[in-house]
Amino acid sequence: MRGEGIVTWSYDATTVTIHRKLLGALTVVVALPVTATTQIPASASTVASSKSLAKDLLPSSYANKAGFTKVAEKVTTFKTGNTSCPLDAEEGFENASGKLGLISEVVVCTTSQGAATLLNSARSATSATSASPPKQLGSSAFERSSPGSVYEIYWLRGLTVEVVEIAVGVPASSSRPRHTITSAQQKVLSSAAVEQNGLLG
């Protein structure tokens, strides 16, 4: 579906899509339990090599040790078409049951103002949680949640906006209750964020 500017990847059960507008020309759609869709505008182009940004994402070896043994989305890097934050890279993993997803993402910006704007947009597009992010991530870090039982930690490292997400439980709908993140899942999310933060040199 590249002509429509949409890239999809699936977990094992059902399909859920959620939109998060982070960049002016780029709509970022987070991974959800059991199927996720990443939407990139048709004007965005895939970067020829993802090696430069791949090193900033959680490696599959870490995800596997954390219980996410399947690669749901290989490392994908895009040119966003946004001059302030031109590069986006992401990848997704799932556990054996296909009901828990781990998503790693970085957005590279060219100015501190662009990075701050992107971080503020993420805060505005999501809901507050009672959890506090790990102190190792610094004062810019915050944890939020999105519809569909997705829990995210955002933080700023230099000019890079970092995101680690966990998608919990069955798909959300009007007839199904929202799945609250468990203490064990919260620990996984926090540990993954600290791990990703440590990858940046």
Q: Is the separation of the CB atoms in 167 and 150 below 8 Å?
A: yes
The 10s digit of each residue's pLDDT in 142-157 is 999 887 788 999 999 9
Which residues 6+ apart lie within 8 Å of 158 measured at CB? 200
Q: Whole-angstrom Cα distance, residue 183 to residue 189?
A: 10
pLDDT of the residue at 7: 30
pLDDT of the residue at 201: 54
Question: Whole-model pTM?
Answer: 0.75
Domain over 2-199 is classified CATH 3.30.420: no
Write out residues in the chain with pLDDT < 50, as ranges.
1-50, 170-176
Q: Is the separation of the CB atoms in 11 and 94 below 8 Å?
A: yes
